[in-house]
Structure 1
């Protein structure tokens, strides 16, 4: 992998890399927002049950609650840029009359994540991104200020694009309604015992076919998705002060050892280590 650019400051990271031998990127979330600028490669981007086929200069936006993964279907050179940022990065510029994170945060999970290359170019987002890269490589004393001003302008332009995407007159991506219903059911019942047999009965569909369409539509197995969503909920509960044992039962795990292994596998740390960090 060749790193073209890596710039990092408080609550903000800008990166540009090229990879000649890409490998699938497993299911994950970030503890921040991500702007993913696709340049080249053969891949499919899965977000919360939705599938996005990407073309050069498309941008994918995810927030800290959206599970996503990338599956490569060719050995083509993979080039992409990304920005990771937290709200604190531009908190001093937020005003009551205008929320720059409105469309990033208030979308239905997995919906309207992609800004097309056409809109990226027409809104000048590609040029603003290039300005940020150029500024990040400079040594000017005003660099930090310029980075924020370019970034804020870019966010505002993205919000303007999302306003048109949320217009009912705009044709939206087609979704497998059965899978959407299953996803909604899972997210509303994370604290309950959910099995393939229960889903089969609830949605009147053979469990083997259900697994097939779920995996094909989302990139996740049913149990993988369920486990990730439960651990995400557990992370919030642990930070609110609940004990790990209480959290394990509250988020639907039958025993603590299963919860502990799943938590460590997904987060990389034990519940206690996570709270201390």
Structure 2
């Protein structure tokens, strides 16, 4: 059962602090915004695009709107976390030609450098900034909406300083996520060939690995099944094409679906909307 402790919301910003006594796995999903996830307590593995992050208290996980992720719980103990969902519009007035607040969130290779480890969170006082944002969000004073946004921008700037440090050769403490190099190549292939029909047989022939063994190691490394990952990625790409004005039929063909009814079913299953409804939304 979830207990929601704090919450603040407007059109482009959502802040939540939640506790779950008996957690259950979080299925594969993505957001139409950016997510900052602050881990407080629990025993879980956070899977993002082929990387598996074993979290410790005060770790922060960052995902953008293109990164598939899911959570698998290693034990059913008390699970506490905070998270912020925000859209670029929330801080657009602070963006300049010289400095992009979202550069590291947007431009990382998918599934890489998603974690800010606890020691950096505490050293750079990201935990204190988070608490100040929460406090400003909860108090009704009229100036606090401005203060909250200013503090949030300060936190993004601080995170960018941490990410800039990660561009240097990484120490072992930043390598505590595990991955299989073959799986990384397969993920890259899938993401670069969404316009083609990608099947287990195709991957088996291209990467010289038995398809049944591939299913096993793919699930073990990514937390997703092969077909689940391919379908999500194709539908995500199709949704982007729909927003450019492309017809649903053309979008289906553009992501390798020869049968529109199969595409329609997959699209609605993942987004909750038909292609036409999604475009209108």
In 2, the alpha carbon distance for the partners of 1:220 and 1:19 equals: 23
Aligned to 2:131: 130
Provide the secondary structure at the position in 1 that maps to 2:66.
coil
> TM-score if structure 2 supplies the norm length?
0.96
SS in 1 for 2:168: coil
Q: Distance in 2 between matches of 1:240 and 1:141?
A: 39
Structure 1 unaligned segments of length 5 or more: list them. none
Runs of 4+ in 1 over 3 A off after TM superposition: 169-172
What does the per-residue CA deviation read over 1:210-267, in whole Å, with 9 as the maximum and x for residues that have no partner?
1111110000011100000000000011111111111111101120111011000100
Asked if structure 1 preserves the Cα contact closer than 8 Å seen for 2:50 and 2:179, the reply is no
SS of residue paired to 2:206: helix
State the partner residue of 1:139.
Answer: 140
For residues 68 and 169 of structure 1, do their structure 2 counterparts lie closer, same or farther at Cα, with a shift above 3 Å needed? closer
Quick one: distance in 1 between partners of 2:271 and 2:9? 22
CA distance in 2, matches of 1:107, 1:203: 25
Secondary structure of the residue aligned to 1:161 is helix
- Report the Cα distance in structure 2 between the residues aligned to 1:198 and 1:276, rounded to whole angstroms: 36
Displacement of 1:9: 2.0
Map of 2:205 onto structure 1 = 201
State TM-score, norm by structure 1.
Answer: 0.98
**Map of 1:40 onto structure 2:** 41
CA separation in 1, counterparts of 2:181 and 2:114?
Answer: 18
2:262 match? 258
Corresponding residue for residue 56 of structure 2:
55
Cα distance, 1:75–1:169 mapped onto 2, change above 3 Å: closer
Q: State whether residues 21 and 79 of structure 2, in contact with CA within 8 Å, keep that contact through their aligned partners in structure 1.
A: yes
Which residue of structure 1 lines up, in the alignment, with residue 181 of structure 2?
Answer: 177
Deviation at 1:169, TM superposition (A): 4.9
Offset of residue 165 of structure 1: 1.0
Q: What are the Cα deviations for residues 177-224 of structure 1, in whole angstroms up to 9, with x where unaligned?
A: 100000011111111121111111111111111111111000001110
Query: Structure 1 residues 272 and 46 mapped into 2: Cα distance closer, same or farther (>3 Å)?
Result: same
C-alpha separation between the residues in 2 aligned to 1:142 and 1:169?
A: 41
Q: How many equivalent residue pairs? A: 277
- Check whether the contact 1:248–1:256 (CA below 8 A) recurs between aligned residues: yes
How far apart are the structure 1 equivalents of 2:264 and 2:3? Answer: 36
- Alignment partner, residue 191 of structure 2: 187
